[in-house]
Amino acid sequence: METLSHTHTSSAPPTPGQMYGSAETLHRIEDVNAARGDADLGRRLVELRTWIEDDLSDVERTLAALDRAPTPMHDSARHLLSLGGKRLRPMCVALAARAGSGFNTAARDLAVAAELVHSATLLHDDVVDMGDVRRGAPTSRVVYGNAASIFAGDWLLVEAIARIRASGFDDLLDRALGVLRAMLNAEALQLAARGAFAPDVKGYFTVVEGKTASLFEWAMYAGGRAGGLSRAQCDALEIYGRNLGIAFQVMDDVLDVAGDATEVGKSVFTDLREGKLTYPLAIAVERDRSFGEALRAACLGEATAVDPELVRRASEVMRTTGAVEDSVALARRLTSDAVKALGALPAGRARDSLESVAVAMLQRRK
């Protein structure tokens, strides 16, 4: 796939030893359906969480110790943070640090910073999208108001940057500023796409790399730096983070369109009107032009109720064009590249864990 060529290559050509992850893992990725429900993989993921449990507790304690002033801004930030979430970005930092000398104070602060950046974007996104529910609870903006959520997002962004600065790794600060620019650029493109209907595959990847992959990429690289790994090893972690970040979003999209046909069809329109595009839809529209035209007319039209026939067709076209299967195939290829990059790391529990995470990601059902 032309538009993704840069995700396949590292800046230096890999040595043969770096080219391949463990044969077993690559086999799992090639045949991910056979791996579903793999009891061994499930056990390894449980062990992984136990292994880094103390690291994540340390992150939680630090997040909970943020300024506790009794203002709507502080309450708004704490409300979101207290609801938990998957803490995937701190996990990335922790595992990358453990591929080196281990999870130290710098790694802790960088893990906290990654979660703060993510939280800042969620606070602003919920205001922009008028989101009412997140992590199974009313959003901060519903509880404390839009104004508080806007300032809370600003505040968490500042707290994140302050922690990266305090870690003393100047390159991480510069990279973080690049990540923030890419994230905001992606938000800007998504906003520009509202009411414009211009679904294209290239734009899809710019948005996904900006909104999702860039922060995962940074989290992996940052953990590697905190753990004292070489620049080449940190670069490999970055490649892992980028590929897995994109694969994560593509699988998210697949799950989005895998449900009940009517629900899927409706959410396609809601998303499109908000300028949001899924990968399966982007390729379905490329492959079935007449469907693309019908979709354009419906999205640009004034009608708020969507034609049920078109709703049915959306779901059907994604099936008949092979959009869903090809999305899964792309996620699999990206994951395979992610695992191959791990060849640059020292063999050991951290590398094995990162391989397990990659395989598990392809199997997730929510």
Contact footprint for its own copies (CB under 8 A): 69-74, 124, 127-128, 146-148, 150-151, 153-155, 157-159, 161-162, 165, 173-174, 177, 180-181, 184-185, 187-189, 191-192
Q: Shortest gap between Cβ of 71 and its own copies (angstroms)?
A: 4
- Nearest CB to its own copies, comparing residues 19 and 191: 191
In this complex, which beta carbon is closest to its own copies, that of residue 100 or of residue 153? 153
Tell me the closest approach of the beta carbon of residue 167 to its own copies, in angstroms: 13
Q: Tell me the closest approach of the beta carbon of residue 281 to its own copies, in angstroms.
A: 21
**Residue 110 or residue 358: which is nearer to its own copies going by CB?**
110
What's the closest the beta carbon of residue 358 comes to its own copies, in angstroms? 31
CB of 168 to its own copies, least distance (A): 10
Nearer to its own copies, 123 or 318 (CB): 123
SS (H, E, C) the chain: CHHHHHHCCCCCCCCHHHHCCCHHHHHHHHCHHHHCCCHHHHHHHHHHHHHCHHHHHHHHHHHHCCCCCCCHHHHHHHHHHHCCCCCHHHHHHHHHHHCCCCCCHHHHHHHHHHHHHHHHHHHHHHHHCCCCEECCEECHHHHHCHHHHHHHHHHHHHHHHHHHHHCCCHHHHHHHHHHHHHHHHHHHHHHHCCCCCCCCHHHHHHHHHHHHHHHHHHHHHHHHHHCCCCHHHHHHHHHHHHHHHHHHHHHHHHHHCCCCHHHHHHHHHHHHHCCCCCHHHHHHHHHCHHHHHHHHHHHHCCCCCCCHHHHHHHHHHHHHCCHHHHHHHHHHHHHHHHHHHHHHCCCCHHHHHHHHHHHHHHHCCC
Task: Tell me the closest approach of the beta carbon of residue 31 to its own copies, in angstroms.
Answer: 42
Residue 36 vs 202, nearer CB to its own copies: 202
Residue whose CB is less far from its own copies, 22 or 146: 146
